[in-house]
Amino acid sequence: MRKFIYILPFLLIFSFCHKETKDLTGYDLLPYNSDIYTVKVYPDEGWNDAFFDCYVNTGQDTRLLIGGWGGCKFRSLLYFDTSLLNLKSDAHITSAQIRLFYQRKVGDINDNVYNNGSLTLLASKVYQTWFENEVTWDYRNHNDRWDGGRFGPSVGSAVVGDPPSNYEYVYVDITPVAIDWLMSPNTNFGVILYSKDEENAETIKEFYSLNQFTEELVPRLIVDYEYNNEKFEVTCPPMRDATLIKNTDEIGEDNTTGHDEFVYVGGFDGYSKRAVFHFNLSEEKTGIPKNATIVKALLNLYLLPYSRGDMGHMGIFLLKGGFDEDTKVRDMRGLSFDKDDRLSTFELTGESAGYKQVIVNQLVQRWIYGSDKNHGLIIRGNYDTKDTYNILRFASKDNTDENILPYLEIKYTLPPD
């Protein structure tokens, strides 16, 4: 009994100094016993939101995509270092083929409607160098445009049908290109694979890339040649590869989206739409002093799903540069943020219409406390190369229905007097 008497006062003091708030995600205990205040920031003259689209590098994806679907075009690049073949300059190449691994895989593109039907795959010689971790449809590196690639006429083709019951290899003959590479190595910038009827294609074929890291799955260049009246075969994997995507419904770099009724987040295989938000969180606007403790901050977005049901896994980042409602898409594409400093994530899976709450505690804390300048936030898919295969649509500040406008809700406490 004596032990209980000694411990009880300590427990009473502890419970008095810490107020439990288990319903407030991220904070189990408050630093002191205090009232919780709530501020809701609705769109007004201090609120901006917009969206933009951009092409995203896929150099580290495990797949190569070729074909077209719904107005999108898919092309794949491969570069082979032919010096690895150790061919003599006077060797006579009789055949050179690219071998691609084609497999049915449950849940992937090859197991759904995108893959129905056959496709004639073409191969052409690329005329300019490109960087695996920088190349997109628009740019071959961070600075130089090439708009889908600079390449010559087709030199080989292959017909690819429905996915096999298990797997099969697809071979594309590029003998003339390989001979050029042997005779003039400095002209070797790789090959590009694309659909013959690219403008009207309604099928996408998926192959493994070099990032699959399994020898029998990765693409290979197979060369047969003759030397000193003997026949040889040599092979090598690509040194680099990537998929390019073109969305014919892209927004257009000279357009603005700051007055649209919706913002969009998501994308697929190299194409991304991203939303940006900025709120005035000054003390004059919100009444929140710098010495307040931010308990919880929620960005409330109203989802308007498409008929097929929407899925998405998204991240939130701190913008390092500002924008306004009249900023052009071209300039929004240049907005910078630290990709390694993801401050929050949220996921939607087959969601119905309604408000979705996104936790933005760290962002609001940084802005209120002044540790970071408030340029706003950006929401993008966490996996921009694969992303969500969906583009999610949310109401913006300019939506005509006032009942679904976005708003920011902040819960905070004040220190004791």
Choose one of 247, 272, 289: the last residue of a domain. 247
- Hey, is 368 helix, strand or coil? helix
Residue with tokens 């427990």, as numbered in its chain: 11
In a domain, 282, yes or no: yes
Return all residues near 243 (Cβ < 8 A) that are at least 6 apart: 58, 61, 63, 64, 65, 74, 75, 76, 77, 209, 269, 270
Q: Are residues 230 and 266 in the same domain?
A: no
What letter represents residue 75's amino acid? R
Q: Are residues 277 and 305 in the same domain?
A: yes
Range of the domain at 123: 72-247
Q: Are residues 330 and 264 in the same domain?
A: yes
**Over the stretch 246-276, which tens digit does the pLDDT of each residue have?**
888 889 889 999 999 999 998 777 788 999 9
**Over the stretch 178-198, which tens digit does the pLDDT of each residue have?**
999 988 999 999 999 999 988
In a domain, 1, yes or no: no
Q: Are residues 196 and 318 in the same domain?
A: no
Residue 332 backbone phi and psi in degrees, to 5: -70, -30
What letter represents residue 234's amino acid? V
Distance separating alpha carbons of residues 171 and 156, to the nearest angstrom? 10
Q: Are residues 234 and 352 in the same domain?
A: no
In a domain, 61, yes or no: no
Residue 401: count of CB within 10 angstroms of its CB: 10
Q: Are residues 224 and 364 in the same domain?
A: no
Instruction: Output the pLDDT for position 310.
Output: 57
| Mean pLDDT, rounded, for 388-405 | 87
| Mean pLDDT, rounded, for 40-68 | 89
Distance separating alpha carbons of residues 156 and 257, to the nearest angstrom? 43
Report residue 156 as tokens: 């080989």
Q: How far is CA 104 from CA 158, 232, 363, 387, in A?
A: 18, 32, 43, 21
| Overall pTM surpassing 0.85 (yes/no) | no
Q: Are residues 232 and 311 in the same domain?
A: no
In a domain, 12, yes or no: no
Q: Are residues 178 and 212 in the same domain?
A: yes
In a domain, 4, yes or no: no
- Across the chain, what does the average pLDDT equal? 84
In a domain, 63, yes or no: no
In a domain, 11, yes or no: no
Indicate the number of domains in the chain: 2
Choose one of 247, 275, 298: the last residue of a domain. 247
Percent share of the chain, pLDDT over 90: 55
Task: Of 372, 271, 359, give the one whose Cα is nearest residue 321.
Answer: 372
**Over the stretch 1-36, which tens digit does the pLDDT of each residue have?**
333 333 333 333 222 223 333 333 334 345 555 688
